[in-house]
Structure 1
Amino acid sequence: MTIKPLHSLFCLFFVPGLATAAEKTTYGLNEYARLDDIDLQVAAKLDTGAKTASLSARDIKRFKRNGEHWVRFYLAIDSAHSHPIERPLARVSHIKRRAGDYDPEQGEHYTARPVINLDVCMGTELRSIEVNLTDRSAFQYPLLIGSDALKHFNALVDPSLKYAAGKPACSNDAHTAE
């Protein structure tokens, strides 16, 4: 007789969680991502331990255009990307420095990075996400997608998988969800 009430209690607490999980898209540790604004496909690392997304960029300069803040940069991916890219500046992010990156003479425990909005396609999902710009050329993946962006993709990350979503296949008329 005590098993039925426990079974009912189990269903009340855990079945709704299964429904939520079923609505999410499962991605692997690495995925292909198309940067629609830049018309470029790159390999990305999905990192639930990172808060923000980062794109590999170099020669990053902030400037004003018609009273608005903008940023000009070059992709730090390979030598084929030799033209500058200009985007409105969404904000400036303060990223905590790693212990090995801290310079006691500067006395700063963070680094300021410009942030832009970028339309990114993974699998069949197109989302507008915030991406900070920093030189990631020392890393294997030019794009890191952190937890804030993963929430926009309604993502579950299975680290045992790679490229689970396949090549980006967002339709041209797909709208970006927030």
Structure 2
Amino acid sequence: MRLEPLALLFCLFLLPGLSLAADKTIYGLNEYATLPELDTQLAAKLDTGAKTASLSARDIRRFKRDGETWVRFYLGTDDAQAQPIERPLARISKIKRRAGDYDAEEEKTYTARPVIELNICMGSTLRNIEVNLTDRSAFQYPLLIGSEALKRFGALVDPSLKYAAGKPDCATDANSAE
């Protein structure tokens, strides 16, 4: 009967981890996401293997406004608005190229992408996250949400689920986004 105290001790070690998991929201592999500032809702792929979030954009151009660098782009979706979107540039991200995307003559193993900040709502949670802009028209989902953003959402991702959080329903007050 020596195993009973060991089993009890083992369970006590697990309790802190269980309480941390209880504070997290379970999301599926795919979720609906609202981008209030862009007045649009997109299907997103949640990818714990990607570090950053990516938004499908086309005709991406940098420009200066009041001495600051901004980015002008069009949303890269079939139903995108005809008006360009303009946002301040947060930074430039270096994204590793995949093996099939690498050109040995260029000697660059990364792609430089402009990064902006956006409020994104999934389920009932609104967060301000960094999103890099790139053409994702070859992919099924125009928005990819990587691990850095998933941390901000307090997300647990269950890949056996899809759209577990339901339709986004967030307060659109920018102050509510952490």
TM tier, smaller:
over 0.9
Figure out how many residues of one structure are paired with residues of the other and give that number: 177
Match of 2:39 in 1: 39
Match of 2:110 in 1: 110
- For structure 2, the residue ranges without an aligned partner over 5 or more in a row are none
Match of 2:53 in 1: 53
Match of 1:176 in 2: 177
- Superposed, 1:83-98 pairs within 5 Å as 83-98=83-98
In 2, distance between residues paired with 1:110 and 1:171? 37
Match of 2:151 in 1: 151
Q: After TM superposition, which residue ranges in structure 1, 4 or more long, deviate above 6 angstroms?
A: none
1:8 offset after TM fit, Å? 3.1
- For structure 1, the residue ranges without an aligned partner over 5 or more in a row are none
In 1, distance between residues paired with 2:157 and 2:24? 10
SS in 1 for 2:176: coil
After alignment, is 165-174 or 95-104 more displaced? Answer: 165-174
In 2, distance between residues paired with 1:172 and 1:112? 31
SS in 2 for 1:161: coil
SS in 2 for 1:9: helix
Identity of aligned residues (%): 72
The alignment status of 1:165 with 2:165, answered yes or no, reads yes
* Corresponding letter in the other structure for 1:131: V
1:9 offset after TM fit, Å? 1.5
* Corresponding letter in the other structure for 2:118: L
**RMSD, aligned α-carbons:** 1.2
Match of 2:25 in 1: 25
Deviation per residue, 1:80-138 (Å, 9 max, x gap): 42210000000000001111111122111100000000000000000000000000001
1:79 offset after TM fit, Å? 4.8
TM-score by length of 1: 0.95
**In structure 2, do the counterparts of structure 1 residues 176 and 79 end up closer, same or farther at CA, with 3 Å as the change threshold?**
closer
SS in 1 for 2:20: helix
Match of 2:8 in 1: 8
Match of 1:72 in 2: 72
